Amino acid sequence: MIPPVAFSPYDYRIHEDPYPVYARLRDEAPLYRSDELDFWALSRHQDVVDAFRDPSRFSSANGVSLDPAAWGPYAHKTMSFLALDPPRHTRMRALVSKGFTARRVRELEHQIRALARRHLGAAVARGDFDFVADFAGLLPMDVISEMIGVPEADRDDVRKLADTVVHREDGLFDVPQAGLEAALTLVGYYADLLARRRADRIAPDDLTSALLEAQIDGDRLTDDEIIGFLFLMVVAGNETTTKLLSNAVYWAWRNPAQLAKPMADPARIGDWVEETLRYDASSQVIARTVAEDFSAHGETIPAGARLLLLIGSANRDPAVFPAPGIFDLDRDTSALISFGSGRHYCLGANLARLEAQIALAEFTRLVAAYDIDDGRAQRVHSVNVRGFATLPMHVQVR
């Protein structure tokens, strides 16, 4: 007899491959209940989209992570407007958007390409390298650091702190002590950076300075709000883009016929990015608080309950994506929800896509073929993010 389906975002086996469990959840328990960890979960595409688009019923006010240390009314201190509902979310998003305009993102294109060439050129020249440590883990942090104004000398330390914040230990259902300490250190670092920007007679043209100047009808961001947004940028923005890049090269390598398309035609790199976002999304799970009793699939979730929206599962729902377990650059990916939907649609989606397209374009420009050492590759262990911690590869240059 097959035991009932069981799901925990802390389970290291889920981190290795969640998709068979997601398939069972969609079929057997589309509204799943975990008594052990006290949460509910939605796994079907339509259910997840509906929840994203109904912030009055599915609240973000307690945060977006299941971790007890990150859950509660003060979650916005580190997760910024991700952990706010309207009207506070509307105000905060409008203000931070002043420093995160489409023009500012477009102006980064030259810097992103220069950074990609610098990191990738050095790695490819060696022939053997770790795609994460030597490229994918460097580029997004450097891009965000350039935006924020973090000096180059500080970036390795900031990146290590961000990695520590998201790492989860096997058997521990919360943020480890090292993660809490890293979070406090990051908050302190950004508080010091903000103080330096405020003291500058001529402020640099960076995001931190723009956030200090942002205002709508005299309303400005507080220091705590700016620090929370900078923390969100370095933890969420850096981690998810790093994992997007490593997932892209891994799954293309596992599917040579698909890899051949962007290797032969750079115009297909956008399709490579989009299918990776669907097939193996960096952001797999996001939490909500049920604001009022909610019924679905014959069960009722009580008000106040914790609800997980399984993005990774929704992107593999066969009701929306035929043959979802096939990595196919020719498919229609327009319904993917890797960046959320509705009011909380990811503010950094355009930047993430731009970084990924430039990074993969530079990779295919330099590399004729590559092979991944699958036996030495290691995945990250996180309740929200999926991807690689290490991805050793050997390349043949063009």
Q: Find the CATH number of the domain harbouring 183.
A: 1.10.630.10
Q: Would residue 356 count as lying in a domain? A: yes
Q: Would residue 7 count as lying in a domain? A: no
**φ, ψ dihedrals at 39, nearest 5°:** -145, 160
Task: Check residue 104 and give its pLDDT.
Answer: 75
With contact defined as beta carbons under 8 Å apart, do 59 and 53 qualify?
Answer: no
Domain that residue 302 falls in: 12-397
Report the domain count for the chain. 1
Model-level pTM greater than 0.85? Answer: yes
Q: Would residue 4 count as lying in a domain? A: no
Closest by Cα among 153, 135, 221, 222 to 189: 153
Q: Would residue 293 count as lying in a domain? A: yes
Task: Check residue 347 and give its pLDDT.
Answer: 86
Task: Please give the Cα distance from 301 to 294 (Å, whole number).
Answer: 5
Cα 254-5-167 angle, rounded to 5 deg: 60
**pLDDT tens across the length of the chain (398 residues):** 789 999 999 999 999 999 999 999 999 999 999 999 999 999 999 999 999 999 999 999 999 988 887 889 888 887 888 888 888 888 888 888 876 777 777 888 999 999 999 999 999 999 999 999 999 999 998 998 888 888 888 988 888 888 787 777 767 666 778 888 888 898 899 899 888 888 875 556 778 888 888 876 788 888 888 888 888 887 777 788 999 999 999 999 999 999 999 999 999 999 999 999 999 999 999 999 999 999 999 999 999 999 999 999 999 999 999 999 999 999 999 999 999 999 888 888 989 999 999 999 999 999 999 999 999 999 988 888 899 999 999 999 98
Alpha carbon distances (Å) from 269 to 65, 139, 210, 359, 371: 32, 18, 32, 10, 19
Task: Check residue 8 and give its pLDDT.
Answer: 96
Q: Would residue 6 count as lying in a domain? A: no
Task: Check residue 133 and give its pLDDT.
Answer: 93
Task: Check residue 204 and give its pLDDT.
Answer: 65
| E-strand stretches of the chain | 31-34, 39-42, 58-59, 128-130, 215-216, 219-220, 285-290, 294-296, 299-301, 306-310, 367-372, 378-379, 388-390, 392-397
Q: Would residue 381 count as lying in a domain? A: yes
Q: Would residue 5 count as lying in a domain? A: no
Q: Would residue 184 count as lying in a domain? A: yes
Task: Check residue 331 and give its pLDDT.
Answer: 98
